């Protein structure tokens, strides 16, 4: 297919050839895995659930547990009430979760199953819970499914007692467990008592103990989700992913909220720490100042190899926006920047970055696909490709250095354990990007120019 990609760019509004996104239920499933002792449940066919679990398991190299309503032809005609009633009973009897998080699929959305009324009529065991959200696969992307599931949990569970608990809610957005651990480390160092929701650390990066645990130690507890309504404030890390959940917490439970950029790179991490300082009224620890100084020193050291190199970025909107900011701080030119998620705020935010750094001739597009990107690259090549595994075919076809980042990364190991957020995460990404560019420089150099020291 990639050999037949043409240079002529045609505007396509009703067709996706090489998508830069995954469907909503994948996001809902990942969100639910960030809740303690929670069983995600796919209200649809077994094939849908199997695919969603497979994508998550291949990325995290961990089993992504989930159950299915197992629709058949008859269910598709007469509705899924009987299937989900049986499924919920079996799940509690056999797997004994504390909570089941149900999300819909294309099929159940198309036939119009009313999950809210089904759940009201269920015989749910004492002390157990069932929540749901609507995630039609043919609308939005996995990012939409992620925040829809967040709001599903809050709509069912969050309360307001009238007594502030003094905690700050952190909505980290779609990030890896390594990022979650770094975000929590920064909050702890700044003296901010948080509720992180959702929190897949400990669940999707569980250690090898020799014994399989269906519900590893980790995840946001039901009690913590209930307590979100009593928080002193909420910080959404990622303006695209968290706008709806933050607004819900503000409007329904009167918790003051603020949206921040995903803390990737120098500037966006600075903004996050300044907001934490505003909350805690504490000075930034000297150890964090040291990390920042090391990052800036690395940017200076590597500048000769990154300056004005052209990079194409793609993936989830908040992650790509943060990586675009980091690339600009490195002196790179983000020639093409796309996301498959249909959020036009993304283009406005990235264009603002272009203006801030006086980056000219750059292109940004939301609701785009990798076929768009490939055509652009054929017309004006780039020096580096930065994004998910699905860009590897373009990288091979056009002979471009490729750095993997974001979700999903299916063909490498250890990716989910290491952060890209914070100063530490930025140091890691600068190293990976610079290594890729220098490796290409060495590969293309003549024997007489192949130096030991660059």
Query: Does some domain include residue 17?
Result: no
- Cα distances (Å, whole numbers) of residue 14 to 87, 340, 365, 369, 398: 37, 14, 16, 12, 27
174 and 244 housed in the same domain: yes
What CATH number corresponds to the domain at position 100?
3.40.50.1980
Report pLDDT for 432: 98
Burial class (CB within 10 angstroms; exposed 0-12, middle 13-18, buried 19+) of 253: middle
Question: Where among 157, 191, 225 does a domain terminate?
Answer: 157
- Strand runs (DSSP E) across 141-287, as ranges? 168-171, 194-196, 233-237, 257-260
Distance between CA 265 and CA 359 in Å, rounded?
Answer: 17
122 occurs within a structural domain: yes
Q: Is the residue at 378 inside a domain? A: yes
Q: Which of 108, 130, 157 lies at the terminal end of a domain, its last residue?
A: 157
pLDDT-derived band of residue 1, with 50, 70 and 90 as boundaries? low
pTM: 0.95
Residues 273, 299: one domain?
Answer: no
Domain of 192 in residue numbering reads as 168-280
Strands 129-133 and 194-196: unpaired
pLDDT at 13 over 80: no
Q: How far apart are CA 390 and CA 341, in angstroms?
A: 15
Percent of the chain with pLDDT over 70: 99
Closest to 53 (Cα-Cα) out of 63, 43, 39? 63
The rounded distance, in Å, linking the Cα atoms of 397 and 6 is 13
Residue 18: inside a domain: no
Give the model confidence (pLDDT) of 38-72 as tens digits: 999 999 999 999 999 999 999 999 999 999 999 98
- Statement to judge: residues 276 and 291 lie in one domain: no
| Domain identity same for 327 and 265 | no
> Tell me: the pLDDT tens digits for 71-114?
988 888 888 899 999 999 999 999 999 999 999 998 899 999 99
Q: How many domains does the chain have?
A: 3
73 and 151 assigned to the same domain: yes
Query: Comparing 74-88, 117-131, 359-373, which segment has the lowest mean pLDDT?
Result: 74-88
Judgement on whether residues 103 and 213 belong to the same structural domain of the protein: no
Q: Is 333 helix (H, G, I), strand (E, B) or coil?
A: strand
Residues in the chain: 454
- 266 burial level (CB within 10 Å; 0-12, 13-18, 19+): middle
CB of 66 closer than 8 Å to CB of 31: no
In a shared domain, residues 181 and 139: no
Q: What are the strands of the beta sheet with 129-133, ordered from one edge? A: 67-68, 38-43, 99-104, 129-133
pLDDT band, residue 241 (cuts 50/70/90): very high
């Amino acid at each position: 297919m990639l050999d037949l990609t043409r240079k002529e760019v045609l505007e396509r509004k009703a067709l996706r050839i090489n998508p830069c996104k995954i469907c909503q239920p994948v996001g809902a499933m990942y969100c639910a895995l960030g809740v303690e002792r929670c069983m995600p449940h796919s209200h649809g066919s077994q094939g849908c659930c199997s695919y969603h679990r497979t994508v998550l398991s291949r990325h995290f190299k961990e089993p992504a547990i989930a159950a299915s309503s197992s629709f058949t032809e008859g269910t598709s005609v007469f509705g899924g009430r009987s299937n989900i009633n049986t499924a919920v009973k079996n799940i509690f009897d056999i797997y004994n979760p504390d909570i089941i998080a149900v999300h819909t699929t294309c099929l159940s959305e198309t036939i119009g199953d009313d999950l809210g009324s089904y759940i009201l009529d269920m015989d749910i065991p004492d002390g157990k819970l069932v929540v749901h959200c609507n995630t039609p696969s043919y609308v939005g992307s996995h990012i939409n499914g992620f925040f829809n599931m967040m709001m599903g949990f809050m709509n069912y569970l969050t309360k307001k007692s009238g007594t502030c608990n003094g905690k700050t809610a952190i909505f980290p957005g779609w990030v890896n467990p390594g990022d979650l651990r770094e975000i929590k480390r920064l909050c702890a160092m700044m003296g901010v008592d948080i509720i992180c929701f959702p929190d897949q650390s400990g669940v999707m990066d569980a250690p090898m103990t020799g014994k399989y645990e269906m519900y590893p130690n980790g995840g946001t507890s039901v009690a913590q989700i209930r307590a979100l309504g009593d928080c002193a404030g909420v910080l959404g890390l990622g303006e695209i992913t968290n706008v709806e959940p933050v607004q819900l917490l503000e409007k329904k439970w009167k918790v003051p909220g603020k949206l921040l950029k995903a803390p990737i790179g120098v500037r966006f991490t600075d903004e996050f720490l300044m907001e934490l300082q505003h909350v805690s009224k504490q000075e930034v620890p000297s150890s964090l100042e040291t990390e920042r100084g090391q990052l800036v020193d690395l940017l200076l050291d590597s500048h000769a190899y990154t300056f004005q190199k052209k990079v194409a970025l793609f993936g989830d909107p908040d992650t790509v926006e943060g990586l675009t900011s980091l690339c600009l701080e490195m002196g790179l030119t983000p020639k093409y920047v796309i996301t498959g998620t249909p959020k036009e705020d993304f283009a406005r935010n990235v264009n603002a970055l272009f203006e801030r750094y006086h980056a000219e001739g750059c292109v940004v597009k939301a609701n785009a696909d990798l076929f768009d990107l490939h055509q652009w690259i054929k017309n004006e090549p780039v020096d580096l490709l930065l994004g998910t595994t699905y860009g590897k075919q373009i990288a091979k076809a056009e002979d471009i250095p490729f750095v993997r980042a974001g979700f999903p990364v299916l063909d490498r190991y250890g990716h989910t354990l290491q952060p890209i957020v914070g100063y530490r995460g930025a140091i890691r990404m600068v190293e990976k990007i610079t290594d890729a560019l220098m490796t290409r420089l060495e590969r293309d150099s003549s024997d007489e120019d192949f130096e030991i020291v660059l």
